[in-house]
Structure 1
Amino acid sequence: MPLTNESVIRRIHRELLDHSDEELELELLEDVRNLDELFDEHADVDEEKLARRRYFSELFRLQGELVKLQSWVVKTGHKVVILFEGRDAAGKGGVIKRITQRLNPRVCRVAALPAPNDREQTQWYFQRYVSHLPAAGEIVLFDRSWYNRAGVERVMGFCNDEQYEEFFRSVPEFERMLARSGIQLIKYWFSISDDEQHLRFLSRIHDPLKQWKLSPMDLESRRRWEAYTKAKEIMLERTHIPEAPWWVVQADDKKRARLNCISHLLNLIPYEDVEHPAVILPARQRHEDYSRTPTPQQGRRITCSRLCALRF
């Protein structure tokens, strides 16, 4: 369906409100005492708010399962690598944020590598990614990965034909080697439509909080949509192996994509509940000869005058 100026403006406005409301709602939920009341579907709210409540209710449930998964990974020494690939603005960062939001960053960490420097360009192609692979009891999420060579590098001409073909010869063996070493490798491709990417780019252009996400490379990728499509199709066909298959996430609906991806991820890993010993807070030791050292006069105190001005 062709886009009209009115539909574009309405869509961008909804995108901006959705982003702002979600960040605010996440903060408010931290202080909620009665989640049952918050997620009561019989409350007097409109359908849009009811859908948001259902979304957050399911998101919280899945994040609770991710915490259980984390405990199991630590206990068993399981090693997990998850690759997130897709076009610019496909929603990779959003799902990564929701996965890591409640987890220990020492257990679950994100690897988002910048463009290779001059030295890295002379290394074995996979070398700079190897140092980010997990040890026992760790989960690593790659926000883009070694598949840059099959995507952006191919389309933008950052690699030659020989390097491109060598990548396809090497990557299946590299990933099989990871599997043999005990690493569970999970690969997600986030798929969005032409119109949806167009609208998300417009949203970023008009949102001061998101403009940093747009780079000249992103804008050029928009122009080369068809070249990226061809590169993606070749990549999926030539690197879909039994040891590390590709999973495609339909991502035009951001919230549905997040829930589907997290739910699917949980189903791929055979985690179980881990019993934890009861935590008992020990009594604080007190000594008669202890006195708290006063703050040095040189230290600058933070006054609350400006903070008070921010009260609603």
Structure 2
Amino acid sequence: MPKALYERELVALQAKLVDMQAWVQQSGARVVVIFEGRDAAGKGSTIKRATEYLNPRVTRIVALPTPSARDKTRWYFQRYVPHLPAAGEIVLFDRSWYNRAGVERVMGYCTNEEYQRFLRQAPVFERMLVEDGIILLKYWFSVSDVVQEERFRSRLEDPMRRWKFSGTDLSSITKWEEYSRAKDTMMLHTDIAEAPWYEVESDDKRASRINMIAHLLTMVPWEKVEPEPIEIPPRPAAGGYERPPRAWTNSVPDHAGELMKRHAADG
């Protein structure tokens, strides 16, 4: 997707997301958006663009760490329930309870009994959420093996993004077919009418972001909310306050000023 076209459409969609968030706040709606897919499929970058101009107190991103020893003794979904939205909130899950159907299944981090129980309980759990009034949207980001490997190599060569790469990511290459089978089984059991899966083709990152955000905006029944008028009051006249000398406080060094001096000296 051409960069100029992408950036123009992205800004337009981000403006609509701000309007949607205002409607969620006013209406008291509760929205849950699940981002799943293979490693390096573009989930995180899409979440970043979608939330760039949203209020983090209203729209929260949930990316849970590896479960603790205590977590492993609780009902599987119990770990996620505290992060569900209250009225007027949006929650974006950067990976979710579907870890059990993907990486935990493929890497042997759960037993077959736990896995089979998840496949039975997930549709029931999600129907309960929807029945209670939560708008639940599930997106699967699909990337080809060739593009995934290209992105992995790009991460390894970029010190600013190398942190994104983990040992588990290697299994995405060595266990490609196992992950494919796990995804197919997951879809078979959890692609339910009340909360269907929506697949996002993500070899073209720009197009995938545009497609996902545009679809999200059609799935939430929002409408334009006129903002409350705000007037900035006139600043009152000075009342004799004198600021203490700057020497009394600790200030950060003027790194920007030094840069500008060097830049001017270099011509």
Would the alpha carbon gap of residues 283 and 259 (structure 1) be closer, same or farther in structure 2, given more than 3 Å must change?
same
Give how far 1:281 is off.
0.8
Cα deviations by residue, 1:273-301 (Å, 9 ceiling, x for unpaired): 10113221101123424333334525245
Matched ranges for 1:96-135 at <5 A: 96-135=47-86
Give how far 1:203 is off.
1.1
1:261 is aligned to 2:227: no
Amino acid at match of 1:308: M
Structure 1 residue aligned with 2:200: 249
Give how far 1:236 is off.
0.8
Inter-partner Cα distance in structure 1 for 2:166 and 2:143: 19
Would the alpha carbon gap of residues 170 and 60 (structure 1) be closer, same or farther in structure 2, given more than 3 Å must change?
same
Structure 1 residue aligned with 2:231: 280
Inter-partner Cα distance in structure 2 for 1:263 and 1:221: 28
1:151 is aligned to 2:102: yes
Structure 2 residue aligned with 1:226: 177
Inter-partner Cα distance in structure 2 for 1:214 and 1:138: 31
Structure 1 residue aligned with 2:27: 76
Inter-partner Cα distance in structure 1 for 2:262 and 2:201: 40
Structure 1 residue aligned with 2:114: 163
Structure 2 residue aligned with 1:66: 17
Structure 1 residue aligned with 2:260: 308
| Range that drifts further, 285-294 or 254-263 | 285-294
Provide the aligned C-alpha RMSD in A: 1.6
Cα deviations by residue, 1:42-89 (Å, 9 ceiling, x for unpaired): xxxxxx9xx211110000000010010010000000000000000000
Specify which of 161, 167, 170 is matched with residue 216 of structure 1.
167
Inter-partner Cα distance in structure 1 for 2:138 and 2:242: 56
Structure 2 residue aligned with 1:179: 130
Cα deviations by residue, 1:6-63 (Å, 9 ceiling, x for unpaired): xxxxxxxxxxxxxxxxxxxxxxxxxxxxxxxxxxxxxxxxxx9xx2111100000000
Give the SS at the match of 2:163. Answer: helix
Specify which of 28, 36, 39 is matched with residue 85 of structure 1.
36
Inter-partner Cα distance in structure 1 for 2:65 and 2:30: 24
Give the SS at the match of 2:80. Answer: helix
Unmatched runs of 5 consecutive residues or more in structure 2: none
Specify which of 89, 99, 103 is matched with residue 138 of structure 1.
89
Inter-partner Cα distance in structure 1 for 2:49 and 2:82: 25
Inter-partner Cα distance in structure 2 for 1:309 and 1:256: 42
Identity across the alignment (%): 52
Would the alpha carbon gap of residues 306 and 296 (structure 1) be closer, same or farther in structure 2, given more than 3 Å must change?
closer
Would the alpha carbon gap of residues 90 and 311 (structure 1) be closer, same or farther in structure 2, given more than 3 Å must change?
farther
Amino acid at match of 1:270: P
Amino acid at match of 1:121: K
Inter-partner Cα distance in structure 2 for 1:146 and 1:281: 45
Would the alpha carbon gap of residues 175 and 281 (structure 1) be closer, same or farther in structure 2, given more than 3 Å must change?
same
- Larger RCO (alpha carbons 8 Å, 6+ apart): 2
Would the alpha carbon gap of residues 311 and 93 (structure 1) be closer, same or farther in structure 2, given more than 3 Å must change?
farther
Inter-partner Cα distance in structure 2 for 1:99 and 1:270: 17
Inter-partner Cα distance in structure 1 for 2:102 and 2:144: 17
Amino acid at match of 1:277: E
- Report the number of matched residues: 263
Report the TM-score, using the length of structure 2 for normalisation.
0.94
